Every structure is written in structure tokens, then in C-alpha cells.
């Protein structure tokens, strides 16, 4: 029987992260999925209840409600004005738009390794060639411009930057971003800066490469910072030359982002829930400390201390001879200990030998989940 599936869709499937989560039953402790356990702030939910009856909920302008675009432009470190902002259905639509808009067949797209698996999949869908730049585990996955430059070739069209990084939790130093930006501009290479975890940091505010170059798209959302994953509100800021085709492409894909969500996003960025957002960040700080102390208490594993995001990588490389690779370990922990983790191989070759744990879960689940992981290895 002949297949009507296009060539570009060959091999496209759910991410390994999602497939593992789908294997879990409700009795499992989930330290795998990238979603805060906090509810959307109460003041935003109240704002919706109080105002929804008065809202016109037809289409918004394709690129989004003007007030929302203006707020995003004002708050971004990018120099893009409001008419170079597009409100998208989550940050992943923004990523799709960015790569469709910039990548021709055969163009190389540099993606971080370890890094979010969607980068590679979307690159392949748009007929680009994913090429991974390694964040060295021996250097705690540090981001260094000199290390990245050696991966650039004459076919490189785009590089994806993700800071704070999923899964490593690393925040990239501004001096390294500035150095890389100069190198990219000299070679006319475009940057896509994925900043969805920018508001989740534990030391200094994460800098953006957009401070140092104009040939870039900046992607962000409210999903992580305001616990609004299901509201599907993201955005991108892009150069002037991309404005008409970018917004046109967005129109053809989705027409506009959900208007209810856009109106609540305006309130969020105006600051009505800032107090609760900051409390949640402090709580994540406590949960990070709890996760690290539990790893030290219940296991003999090393870990990479995160500077941002709500993930922590634990090193299981010394366990491989006995327990198998990171996927083997993840599946066995799920089956035998009822704990969901994510294997490092889901993020690339450099992630092999690590497990990603989320400390966005409830504190009791963090402790019990890590205790069970320790029990698994010490049997």
C-alpha cells in the first residue's frame, strides 16, 4: 500500500519526553515534565472572571492585541519596537515561524547538545540540516563562544541559543554572548534566542544575545514564568525585514493567538500578579535547595547545580555498566520505583549518562521521588 506521507514527515513523532510521560500512570511521582506545579496566579484568574463578560472575543489583529505587543517590546532587552512583535500560540509556534522564515533546504542550523529536542525536529521539518554544538559535560555544560565557533561552517545559516538552558540549567554569561554575537554578525549568521526560562533564575538576571546583535529572533512566553502552559501564549521579536512575511505566515498557520489568553497576558505583564510570581520564584529556590540536599542525602550521584530553570541533571555515567544507558535507567526507575525522570539522551549525545529531574514538583514528591531513585541504585 502506497503512503501519502510527505518525505519531510518521515520519522516525526512525539518527543521521548512525552512518550515516557505517557507511560506513567496516576500513581507515579512525576519529576519529568517541564511544567510548574503552581496554579496560574489567583489574581490573573480573578481578572478573567471579572472581565470576560465584557470582552469581545472575536479575532484579534493577526500579530496580537496592540497593547500586549507594546508591553512586550518595552520589557524586552531586544531593541525591536511593538510592530516587530508577534503573539504566538506558545513559544513552539514562534520557533516554527522563526525556522520556516530563515532556513532554506540544506541550510545548517546549529542547535545545543544537550538541548531541547524540538529544535532538531523542526529543523528537519523545514528541510534544514541540524548540526549540534556540544556543551561539554566536563565543563558543567558551560557556554563558551570559542567552543561554539569551531562548529560553524560555510553552510551555517542559523544558531539557536537557549539561556537559561533546558536541560542543564546553565545561564550564559553576557561576555560570551557578546563575543559570539560579534562572530555571528561578521559571518552573517542569524540567531534564534529561546528565552522561555528567562524569569526563572537564582543569581543574576539572564542576559540576552539580542543586546549585542539585530539579526536575531527572540522567543519567550508566559508558560513557565506565570504557570500558564495551557493558555498557549508566546511571542517573538524579529528584525524589520521579517515583519510582513512573519506575520503573514502566522496568519496562515493560526490566524491569531487565543484572545482570552492575550487579554490575561496584558494583565500579567502590567504586573497585577507580580507578587505571586516572585513568591513562586522564591519557592522554586527552596525546592532547588531541597532537590540538591535530597540527592546528597539519598543517593551517591553527582549533579550539575542549576543557575536557572527548574531542572537539575544528575550524573549516572558510573552506573551504566550495571544499569544500562540513560534510557534504560529511566524506564527501569519508572517501572520499579514509579518515578518519572527524563533520560539525558532525549537532549542529545552530550546528555547521555545524565537524568533530568524537575524540582517544580511539590516538595513531598521531590523528596520521595529522589529517595526512590536512590533506593533503585543501591539495591
Of 250, 270, 290, which residue sits at a domain end? Answer: 270
**262 and 291 co-located in one domain:** no
**206 and 146 co-located in one domain:** yes
CATH number of the domain encompassing residue 229: 3.40.640.10
**211 and 295 co-located in one domain:** no
Peptide bond between residue 167 and the one before it cis (omega within 30 degrees of 0)? yes
Could you tell me which residues come within 8 angstroms of residue 169 by beta carbon, excluding any fewer than 6 positions away? Answer: 304, 305, 306, 307, 308, 309, 311, 312, 313
How high is the pLDDT of residue 115?
Answer: 96
Please give the average per-residue pLDDT across 308-315, as a whole number.
97
Of 13-22, 86-95, 280-289, least confident by mean pLDDT is 13-22
| Residue 45 belongs to a domain | no
Please give the average per-residue pLDDT across 324-331, as a whole number.
94
Percent of the chain beyond pLDDT 90?
87
Please give the average per-residue pLDDT across 267-279, as a whole number.
97
**150 and 19 co-located in one domain:** no
Q: What is the band of 257 on the pLDDT scale with cuts at 50, 70, 90?
A: very high
Q: In the 8-state DSSP scheme, what is residue 52?
A: G
Pick from 328, 347, 326: nearest CA to 336: 328
| Residue 336 belongs to a domain | yes
How high is the pLDDT of residue 35?
Answer: 85
**314 and 212 co-located in one domain:** no
CATH number of the domain encompassing residue 33: 3.90.1150.10
Note down the domain range covering 360.
7-40+275-377
Peptide bond between residue 10 and the one before it cis (omega within 30 degrees of 0)? no
| Residue 51 belongs to a domain | no
Count of Cβ atoms closer than 10 Å to residue 174 Cβ: 16
pLDDT at 310 over 80: yes
| Residue 50 belongs to a domain | no
- CB-side neighbour CA atoms (13 Å) of 348: 25
How high is the pLDDT of residue 5?
Answer: 82
Q: What is the band of 14 on the pLDDT scale with cuts at 50, 70, 90?
A: confident
pLDDT at 1 over 60: no
Of 270, 288, 313, which residue sits at a domain end? Answer: 270
- CB-side neighbour CA atoms (13 Å) of 93: 23
| Average pLDDT across the chain, whole number | 94
Q: In the 8-state DSSP scheme, what is residue 191?
A: E
**158 and 294 co-located in one domain:** no
CA distance 31 to 37: 11
Number of domains the chain is built from? 2
**228 and 309 co-located in one domain:** no
**210 and 280 co-located in one domain:** no
| Residue 372 belongs to a domain | yes
Please give the average per-residue pLDDT across 347-354, as a whole number.
96
Amino acid at each position: 500500500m502506497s503512503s501519502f506521507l510527505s518525505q519531510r514527515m518521515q520519522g516525526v513523532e512525539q518527543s521521548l519526553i512525552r512518550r515516557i510521560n505517557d507511560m506513567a500512570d496516576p500513581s507515579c511521582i512525576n519529576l519529568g515534565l517541564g511544567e510548574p506545579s503552581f496554579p496560574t496566579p489567583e489574581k490573573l484568574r480573578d481578572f478573567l472572571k471579572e472581565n470576560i463578560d465584557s470582552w469581545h472575543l472575536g479575532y484579534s489583529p493577526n500579530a496580537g492585541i496592540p497593547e500586549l505587543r507594546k508591553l512586550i517590546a518595552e520589557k524586552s532587552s531586544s531593541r525591536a519596537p511593538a510592530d516587530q512583535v508577534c503573539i504566538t500560540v506558545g513559544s513552539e509556534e514562534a520557533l516554527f515561524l522563526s525556522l520556516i522564515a530563515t532556513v532554506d533546504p540544506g541550510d545548517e542550523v546549529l542547535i545545543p547538545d544537550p538541548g531541547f529536542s524540538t529544535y532538531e525536529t523542526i529543523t528537519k521539518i523545514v528541510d534544514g540540516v541540524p548540526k549540534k554544538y556540544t556543551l561539554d559535560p566536563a565543563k558543567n555544560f558551560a557556554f563558551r563562544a570559542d567552543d561554539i565557533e569551531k562548529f560553524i561552517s560555510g553552510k551555517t545559516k542559523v544558531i539557536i541559543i537557549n539561556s537559561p538552558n533546558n536541560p542543564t540549567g546553565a545561564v550564559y554569561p553576557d561576555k560570551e554572548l557578546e563575543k559570539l554575537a560579534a562572530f555571528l554578525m561578521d559571518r552573517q549568521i542569524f540567531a534564534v534566542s529561546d528565552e522561555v526560562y528567562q524569569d526563572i533564575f537564582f543569581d543574576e538576571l539572564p542576559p540576552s544575545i539580542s543586546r549585542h546583535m539585530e539579526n536575531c529572533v527572540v522567543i519567550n512566553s508566559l508558560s513557565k514564568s506565570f504557570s500558564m502552559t495551557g493558555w498557549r501564549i508566546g511571542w517573538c521579536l524579529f528584525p524589520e525585514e521579517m515583519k510582513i512575511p512573519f506575520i503573514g505566515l502566522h496568519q496562515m498557520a493560526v490566524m491569531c493567538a487565543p484572545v482570552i489568553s492575550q487579554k490575561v497576558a496584558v494583565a500579567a505583564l502590567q504586573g497585577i500578579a507580580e507578587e505571586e510570581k516572585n513568591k513562586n520564584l522564591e519557592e522554586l529556590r527552596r525546592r532547588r535547595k531541597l532537590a540538591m540536599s535530597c540527592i546528597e542525602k539519598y543517593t551517591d550521584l553527582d549533579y550539575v547545580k542549576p543557575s536557572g530553570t527548574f531542572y537539575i541533571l544528575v550524573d549516572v555515567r558510573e552506573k551504566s555498566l550495571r544499569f544500562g544507558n540513560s534510557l534504560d535507567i529511566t524506564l527501569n526507575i519508572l517501572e520499579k520505583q514509579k518515578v518519572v525522570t527524563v533520560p539525558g539522551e532525549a537532549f542529545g549525545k552530550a546528555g547521555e549518562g545524565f537524568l533530568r529531574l524537575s524540582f517544580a514538583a511539590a516538595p513531598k514528591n521531590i523528596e520521595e521521588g529522589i529517595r526512590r531513585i536512590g533506593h533503585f541504585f543501591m539495591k
